């Protein structure tokens, strides 16, 4: 074990209070944006008055990393003010954190005081008030005590005081919180926010006190408050303050009590050292201690802080022991520093896999979406066949579609008529099993054309219009207008528009057809559209009502290359109204 002198606490003050109010040490830190001050311990001789008082009696210095001690010039920055022995900050900022020194005169060589560490910490809104700036106050259950916000002498321009317990409003406009007959429920963090007016502006002064109400301690038996072993979670580089409070009771011989810190190597129990006060010259300790005495309810308490201005890795190798040596019984309390667990890095292979999946899955989804859009017709037809879907059951309709085409062909131009009666009708009825209504074939003598046309259209599930440049010259316009009215207005059925031999000139088309959706239009492309598996027939099936395919024949159309009229040879059921040329 290393040999060293025990650190004997110099009692800073013992002041009995008739009110029993809590006297606490200066704040361990200041919240950014708050008013704060440092008080110089130098005493200016009282007999020096007027011209005899040293010019600029108190001079303040701040230590910089590169330039050492630098004299403060408050006249050039009104935010920091020298007021006799006080160095005031209106308000304090985070970059004000550091060591300050006050001397008589303006030369640091004459300094006899120890530097004052001024710590300004950032606010943490979710915690309401930063717990690093909280002072600990341990009280015994059943006594009466008070917590003081700030003396009227120190802050003469206070306009309001508001107390909070935790994050909740507690009291207002009171200098102290009086507790008579303390209970365990009174434990908690009490924060006083005092509003001060300075040079026409309002500033806050925040003081947080953590009140711990403990069980009554056996009188006359010194002890250290709290658990014997405490863990402190910290991060490398952060500021850490550890508080330790000892109970002395009514014991009067305080000079025979030693209250000090030890550090013990966790891997080598013989490696023990005393923690006094660190200096930059020795670099022996990354900490400093501060002690004070309190008189609460007739009993004495001694408190001490161990300060780490910047926690290092080597600091985690030690256990820090707060020890109270006294003639009755020695007491110890151990503090173990635990490094805050950082989120583990993702393994390289997992990270790579995640990146690949993050790229591949959206691409697969995009390709799938594009495929569904490009092959939506094939997918719909496949679904109909797989499920044997039938939309024609019990709808009261007799025909799957009514075919409207140009019936009066001038001269020998009967291509449109043959397309409607032979190619279209044969394929839809004989190959795909649909039932079409064709006026020339299904008209029964005895009725009027208009009445029969409306009747046929009403009995059909679709209206197929074979639109050509000459369509509007025929009397089939009545079928078009009647069908569009029933489709667009009465919503009885859908319209399928077949564009037959139409080039890019659409000026001949009736304006009413512009109301049809483009998805209901199919373009006939001649021989390219003839095969039953062509895109034309797939789209026709897609637009026709869904029903099981009941093919009556596997015949297909074969253009007659030797005929004068270009007739199309048709096999099977269409012989009853189509002449077949040998």
The reported pLDDT for the residue numbered 9 is: 30
* Nearest residue to 317 (alpha-carbon basis) of 274, 239, 272, 265: 265
| Strand pairing report for 331-339 and 229-234 | parallel
Backbone angles phi, psi at 110, to 5 degrees: -90, 5
- The CA-based diameter of the chain, rounded to the nearest angstrom, is 143
3-state DSSP assignment of residue 255: helix
DSSP track, 138-194: EEETT--EEEE---TTT-TTEEEEEEEETTEEEEES-SEEEESS--GGG-EEEEEEE
CATH number of the domain bearing residue 313: 2.60.40.10
The reported pLDDT for the residue numbered 306 is: 85
Q: In this predicted model, which residue has the larger pLDDT, 216 or 454?
A: 454
In a domain, 237, yes or no: yes
**Mean pLDDT lowest among 201-205, 211-215, 255-259:** 255-259
In a domain, 65, yes or no: yes
Same structural domain, 207 and 318: yes
Same structural domain, 360 and 327: no
Task: Print the domain residue range for 155.
Answer: 1-21+131-342
> Has residue 184 got a pLDDT over 80?
yes
DSSP track, 369-397: HHHHHHTHHHHHHHHHHHHT--S-TTS--
Cα four-point dihedral sign 481, 485, 488, 493? negative
> Has residue 235 got a pLDDT over 60?
yes
Cis-peptide, bond into residue 91, ω within 30° of zero: yes
* Nearest residue to 551 (alpha-carbon basis) of 402, 385, 433, 419: 433
Portion of the chain with pLDDT greater than 70, in percent: 71
pTM reported for the whole predicted model: 0.38
Q: How many residues does the chain have?
A: 582
Backbone angles phi, psi at 320, to 5 degrees: -105, 125
Same structural domain, 194 and 292: yes
In this prediction, residue 504 has a pLDDT band, given cuts at 50, 70 and 90, of: low
Q: Among residues 284, 479, 490, 511, which one is catalytic?
A: 479
The two three-digit tokens of residue 450, written as one number: 């208009």
Burial (CB count <10 Å: 0-12, 13-18, 19+), residue 291: middle
Segment (H or E) for 208: strand 201-214
The reported pLDDT for the residue numbered 548 is: 84
Side-chain-side CA neighbours of residue 270 (13 Å): 1
CA–centroid distance for 242 within its chain: 33
In this prediction, residue 273 has a pLDDT band, given cuts at 50, 70 and 90, of: low
The reported pLDDT for the residue numbered 475 is: 62
- Residue 567 neighbours by CB under 8 Å, 6+ apart: 418, 560, 579, 581
For the chain, the average pLDDT equals: 75
In a domain, 363, yes or no: yes
In a domain, 50, yes or no: no
> Has residue 240 got a pLDDT over 50?
yes
The reported pLDDT for the residue numbered 510 is: 65
3-state DSSP assignment of residue 439: helix
In this prediction, residue 553 has a pLDDT band, given cuts at 50, 70 and 90, of: low
How far is residue 469's CA from residue 6's CA, in Å, rounded to a whole number?
114
Angle, helices 449-458/477-484, rounded to nearest 10 degrees: 40
Same structural domain, 449 and 397: yes
Same structural domain, 174 and 288: yes
| Strand pairing report for 299-308 and 240-249 | antiparallel
How far is residue 568's CA from residue 12's CA, in Å, rounded to a whole number?
119
Secondary structure letter of residue 460 according to DSSP: B
Q: What is the pLDDT of residues 524-548, one digit of tens each?
A: 988 898 998 899 999 999 999 988 8
Same structural domain, 314 and 419: no
CATH number of the domain bearing residue 472: 3.40.50.10140
* Nearest residue to 79 (alpha-carbon basis) of 131, 25, 120: 120
In a domain, 186, yes or no: yes
Same structural domain, 466 and 494: yes
The reported pLDDT for the residue numbered 573 is: 35
Q: Into how many domains does the chain fold?
A: 4
Same structural domain, 231 and 164: yes
* Nearest residue to 303 (alpha-carbon basis) of 151, 186, 139: 139
Backbone angles phi, psi at 520, to 5 degrees: -95, 10
How far is residue 348's CA from residue 358's CA, in Å, rounded to a whole number?
15
C-beta neighbour count of 94 within 10 angstroms: 14
How far is residue 355's CA from residue 360's CA, in Å, rounded to a whole number?
9
Same structural domain, 412 and 354: no
Same structural domain, 419 and 433: yes
> Has residue 253 got a pLDDT over 70?
no
The reported pLDDT for the residue numbered 552 is: 59
In a domain, 384, yes or no: no
Same structural domain, 272 and 323: yes
C-alpha distances (whole Å) from 434 to each of 61, 308, 409, 441, 533 are 101, 90, 26, 16, 16
> Has residue 12 got a pLDDT over 60?
no
> Has residue 460 got a pLDDT over 80?
yes
The reported pLDDT for the residue numbered 45 is: 52
In this prediction, residue 298 has a pLDDT band, given cuts at 50, 70 and 90, of: low
- Residue 157 neighbours by CB under 8 Å, 6+ apart: 196, 197, 198
232 is catalytic: no
Same structural domain, 17 and 110: no
Burial (CB count <10 Å: 0-12, 13-18, 19+), residue 405: buried
In a domain, 581, yes or no: no
In this prediction, residue 520 has a pLDDT band, given cuts at 50, 70 and 90, of: confident
> Has residue 43 got a pLDDT over 60?
no
Secondary structure tally for the chain: helices H, strands E:
8, 32
**With b meaning 16 or more CB within 10 Å and e meaning fewer, what string describes 301-326?**
bbbbbbbbbebeeebeebbbbbbbbb
The two three-digit tokens of residue 119, written as one number: 């710590």
The reported pLDDT for the residue numbered 98 is: 92
Segment (H or E) for 101: strand 98-104
According to DSSP, the residues that pair with 83 across neighbouring strands are: 86
**Mean pLDDT lowest among 6-15, 38-47, 150-159, 229-238:** 6-15
In a domain, 582, yes or no: no
Q: What is the pLDDT of residues 127-178, one digit of tens each?
A: 787 767 888 888 888 888 888 886 545 666 788 899 999 889 999 988 889 9
**Mean pLDDT comparison of 11-20, 322-331, 454-463, highest-scoring range:** 454-463
Angle, helices 376-387/535-543, rounded to nearest 10 degrees: 60
> Has residue 299 got a pLDDT over 80?
no
């Amino acid at each position: 074990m290393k040999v060293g002198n025990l650190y004997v606490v110099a009692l800073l003050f013992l002041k009995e209070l008739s009110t029993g109010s809590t006297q606490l040490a200066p704040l361990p830190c200041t919240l950014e944006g708050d008013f704060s001050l440092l008080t110089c311990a130098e005493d200016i001789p009282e007999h020096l008055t007027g011209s005899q008082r040293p010019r600029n009696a108190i001079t303040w210095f701040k230590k910089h990393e590169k330039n050492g001690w630098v004299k403060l010039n408050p006249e050039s920055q009104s935010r920091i003010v020298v007021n006799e022995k006080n160095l005031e900050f209106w308000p304090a900022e985070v970059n004000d954190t550091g060591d300050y020194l006050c001397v008589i005169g303006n030369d640091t060589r004459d300094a006899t005081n120890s530097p004052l560490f001024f710590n300004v910490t950032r606010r943490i809104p979710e915690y309401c008030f930063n717990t690093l700036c909280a002072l600990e106050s341990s009280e015994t259950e059943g006594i009466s005590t008070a917590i003081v916000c700030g003396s009227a002498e120190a802050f003469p321009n206070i306009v309001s005081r508001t107390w909070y317990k935790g994050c909740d409003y507690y009291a207002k406009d009171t200098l102290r919180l009086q507790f008579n007959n303390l209970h365990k429920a009174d434990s908690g963090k009490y924060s006083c926010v005092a509003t001060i007016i300075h040079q026409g502006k309002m500033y806050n002064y925040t003081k947080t006190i953590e009140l711990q109400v403990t069980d009554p301690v056996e009188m006359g038996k010194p002890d250290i408050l709290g658990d014997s072993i405490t863990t402190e979670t910290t991060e490398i580089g952060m500021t850490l303050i550890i508080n330790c409070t000892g109970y002395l009771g009514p014991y009067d011989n305080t000079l025979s009590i030693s209250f000090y810190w030890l550090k013990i190597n966790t891997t080598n129990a013989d490696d023990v050292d005393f923690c006094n006060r660190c200096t930059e010259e020795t670099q022996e300790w990354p900490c400093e201690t501060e002690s004070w005495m309190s008189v609460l309810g007739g009993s004495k308490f001694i408190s001490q802080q161990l300060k780490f201005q910047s926690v290092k890795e080597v600091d985690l190798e030690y256990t820090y022991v707060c020890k109270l040596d006294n003639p009755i019984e020695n007491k110890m309390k151990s503090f173990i520093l635990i490094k805050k667990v950082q989120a583990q890095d993702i393994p390289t292979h997992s990270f790579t896999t995640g990146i690949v999946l993050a790229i591949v899955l959206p691409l697969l989804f995009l390709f799938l979406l594009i495929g569904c859009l490009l092959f939506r017709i094939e997918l719909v037809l496949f679904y109909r066949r797989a499920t044997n879907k039938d939309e024609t059951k019990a709808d009261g309709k007799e025909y799957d579609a009514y075919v409207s085409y140009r019936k009066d062909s001038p001269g020998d131009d009967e291509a449109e008529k043959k397309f409607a009666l032979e190619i279209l009708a044969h394929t839809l009825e004989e190959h795909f099993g649909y039932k079409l209504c064709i006026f020339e074939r299904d008209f029964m003598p005895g009725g009027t054309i208009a009445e029969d046309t409306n009747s046929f259209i009403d009995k059909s599930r679709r209206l197929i219009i074979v639109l050509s440049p000459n369509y509007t010259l025929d009397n089939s316009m009545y079928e078009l207008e009647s069908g569009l009215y029933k489709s667009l207005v009465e919503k009885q059925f859908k319209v399928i528009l077949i564009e037959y031999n139409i080039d890019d000139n659409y000026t001949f088309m009736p304006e009413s057809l512009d109301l049809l959706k483009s998805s209901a239009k199919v373009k006939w492309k001649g021989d390219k559209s003839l095969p039953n598996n062509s895109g034309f027939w797939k789209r026709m099936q897609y637009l026709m009502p869904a029903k099981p395919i009941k093919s009556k024949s596997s015949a297909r159309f074969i253009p007659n290359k030797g005929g004068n009229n270009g007739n199309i040879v048709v096999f099977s059921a269409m012989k009853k109204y189509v002449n077949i040329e040998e």
